[in-house]
């Protein structure tokens, strides 16, 4: 027995900010952003927030799975931009979808968050602790980036993606997860509250800071490594995979991973031109778009992979 994805959904805010819009207040240009990243625009939240987006994506995934919300026995919300410290995002999603009993918790592994969540759901299902798990990645990156820092803010967008994962005979074949906290300062953002009645921890990074070049180097080295580990576990070769659904951070990173794996770029779907980097939401948004366009056929081999702050990485290989 393993874990199959039986439903997908996504949601992105209606408000769109183009590269030209950014060039109105930043020293940048549409040409630079397109050439260096592949991004043309991003959806930006103007007041809904991470929980509401997560709930909308989740409702779509549950409808797509054709199950009752009450059938879900665990909700994992992957986010690093929760609306509230308490209660957790997953419990608020639970309320919105109409489930009143299941376990709920949030997981923060930055841009690897959705893959971490899916792999965790698989562990629960394999151990017999859960049968049906909702995994949702939702992010309001627009509230943690510094809109005066052209080297980071141009990359990010907001949105949510969700899957329903359930016990089945075919599905997840191998998983990889890891982190190297020694490089934690390459992407960082402090929590908003840093003081109590007796003292304060100095706030170093009130908004996200990122060493783009170091993240780039990490991604093009670590993602192929993780995928090779994943393929070895399953006894498969890179060219046997039909779809590589990678975290959508930069088109040049995706192209470099494709080259290193020796797999044509056509097997690496890309939608970052519309969404930018939506962190934990990027993989499930792309997965849902492919599912709804009927680009995923039963039996197809799919690899998903994420990387980000931590520095974390995670990958999953499954049969659709
Ligand atoms: O989920 C993980 C999240 N993070 C990532 O995936 C980030 C990975 N890294 C990247 O995507 C790229 O490193 C960036 C897109 C962030 C930057 O691209 P780059 O090709 O590495 O550019 P760079 O940092 O080497 O900067 C080249 C030049 C610099 O100017 P000088 O020093 O050569 O005069 C920058 O100041 O481009 C300048 N620059 C910009 N120019 C116009 C940086 N950002 C911009 C901008 N518009 N938005």
Residue 197 parent element (H or E): none
Residues 235-247 have a mean pLDDT of: 98
What is the distance in A from the centroid of ligand 1 to the CA of 152? 8
Query: How much of the chain exceeds pLDDT 90, in percent?
Result: 97
pLDDT at 94: 98
Between the CA of 150 and the centroid of ligand 1 the distance, in Å, is 8
- Mean pLDDT within 235-255: 98
> Given pLDDT bands bounded at 50, 70 and 90, which one contains residue 192?
confident
Q: What is the mean pLDDT of the segment spanning 145-174?
A: 98
Average pLDDT of span 121-128? 98
Mean pLDDT of 95-113: 97
In this prediction, residue 142 carries a pLDDT of 98
Q: What pLDDT shows up at residue 256?
A: 98
Q: What's the predicted TM-score (pTM) here?
A: 0.97
Which residues are marked as active site? Answer: 111, 247, 277
163 to each of 59, 235, 283, 307, how far by Cα in Å? 10, 26, 10, 19
The residue nearest atom 28 of ligand 1, judged by CA position, is 151
- The binding-site residues of ligand 1, defined as CB within 6 angstroms of any ligand atom, are 28, 32-33, 36-37, 111, 150-151, 154, 210, 212-213, 215-216, 219, 249-250, 277, 308
Ligand 1 mutation pick, 21, 144, 151, max ligand atoms within 8 A of CB = 151
Residues with Cβ within 8 Å of 182's Cβ and at least 6 positions away in sequence, in order, are none
Tens-digit pLDDT profile for residues 47-86: 999 999 999 999 999 999 999 999 999 999 999 999 999 9
Predicted local distance difference test score (pLDDT) of residue 114: 98
Ligand 1, atom 9: closest residue by C-alpha: 212
pLDDT beyond 90 at 224: yes
Is 196 a residue whose pLDDT tops 80?
A: yes
Give the per-residue pLDDT at 202.
Answer: 85
Model pLDDT for residues 259-276, shown as the tens digit of each residue: 999 999 999 999 999 999
- Atom of ligand 1 minimally distant from the CA of 210: 4
Nearest residue by C-alpha to atom 26 in ligand 1: 151
Q: Residue whose CA is closest, atom 7 of ligand 1?
A: 212
What's residue 194's pLDDT?
A: 77
CA within 13 Å, CB half, 193: 4
CA–centroid distance, 83 to ligand 1, in Å, is 29
pLDDT band at 26 (very low <50, low <70, confident <90, very high): very high
Atom of ligand 1 nearest to the CA of 279: 1
Question: Cα of 64 to ligand 1 centre, how many Å?
Answer: 39
Å from CA of 252 to ligand 1 middle:
12
Residue burial 219-238, b: 16+ Cβ < 10 Å; e: rest: bbebbbebbbebbeebebeb
The token duo for 153 is 């803010």
**In the predicted structure, residue 188 carries a pLDDT above the cut 90:** yes
Q: What is the mean pLDDT of the chain?
A: 97
In this prediction, residues 162-166 reach a mean pLDDT of 98
pLDDT at 193 > cutoff 80: no
- Give the closest residue (by CA) to ligand 1 atom 6: 249
Which pLDDT does position 191 carry in this prediction?
Answer: 84
């Amino acid at each position: 027995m393993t874990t199959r994805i039986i439903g997908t959904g996504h949601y992105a805010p209606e408000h769109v900010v183009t590269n030209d819009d950014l060039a109105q207040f930043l020293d940048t240009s549409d040409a630079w952003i397109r050439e260096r990243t592949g991004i043309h625009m991003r959806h930006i939240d103007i007041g809904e927030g991470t929980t509401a987006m997560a709930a909308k994506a989740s409702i779509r995934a549950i409808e797509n799975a054709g199950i009752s919300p009450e059938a879900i026995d665990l909700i994992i919300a992957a986010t690093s931009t929760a609306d509230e410290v308490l209660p957790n995002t997953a419990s608020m999603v639970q309320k919105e979808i109409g489930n009143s009993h299941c376990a709920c918790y949030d997981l923060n592994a930055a841009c690897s968050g959705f893959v971490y969540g899916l792999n965790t759901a698989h562990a629960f299902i394999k151990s017999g602790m859960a049968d049906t798990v909702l995994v949702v990645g939702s992010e309001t990156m627009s509230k943690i980036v510094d809109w005066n820092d052209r080297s980071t803010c141009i990359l990010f967008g907001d949105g949510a993606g969700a899957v329903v994962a359930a016990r089945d005979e075919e599905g997840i074949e191998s998983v990889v997860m890891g982190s190297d906290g020694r490089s934690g300062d390459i992407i960082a953002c402090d929590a908003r509250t840093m003081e109590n009645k007796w003292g304060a921890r100095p706030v170093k990074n009130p908004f996200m800071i990122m060493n783009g070049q170091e993240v780039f180097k990490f991604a093009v080295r670590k993602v192929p490594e993780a995928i090779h580990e994943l393929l070895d576990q399953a006894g498969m070769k890179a060219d046997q995979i039909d779809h590589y659904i990678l975290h959508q951070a930069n088109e040049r990173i995706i192209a470099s991973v494709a080259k290193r794996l020796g797999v044509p770029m056509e097997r690496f779907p890309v939608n970052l031109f519309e969404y930018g980097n939506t962190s934990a939401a990027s993989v499930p948004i792309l997965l849902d778009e492919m599912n709804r366009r009927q680009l995923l056929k039963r039996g197809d081999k799919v690899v998903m992979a994420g990387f980000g702050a931590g520095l974390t990485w995670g990958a999953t290989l499954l049969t659709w």
